Amino acid sequence: MNDLTVDETVCFADAPFVEPPTVDGNSAVQILSRIEARTPIKSAIHLIRDNAPYHRCEEARRWLPHPECRIRLIQLPASSPHLNPIERLRARHS
């Protein structure tokens, strides 16, 4: 299997991602595009997403089904911060 693993996602912390001025549908698509571009040898990229509006927006829904898309979404249920890894990380650092 040639998937992007959780351990490999840590390397994105060192990557020079440009932080968008606002978090919206367009910036969500830009980030998805960059993740795909930075992992050209992976056959699938599994991303966990919560129910933030910019994850469910029209721009993301239009972009995700493009024919070459290797991103596979893992949708968290609504109102489940205990399942969201980023919420656990925030809790540790607050």
Q: In terms of pLDDT, which residue wins out, 50 or 11? A: 50
pLDDT in tens, 22-67: 778 888 888 888 888 888 888 888 888 888 888 888 988 888 888 8
3-state SS of the chain: helix, strand, coil percent to 5?
45, 15, 40
pTM to 2 decimals? 0.65
Distances (CA, A) of 82 to 7, 91, 94: 20, 10, 16
5 touches 47 (CB < 8 A): no
Question: Which tokens sit at 57?
Answer: 């927006």
Q: Are 74 and 49 within 8 A, CB to CB?
A: yes
Taking the C-alpha atoms of residue 71 and residue 65, their distance in angstroms, rounded to an integer, is: 9
The residue ranges of every structural domain in the chain are: 3-92
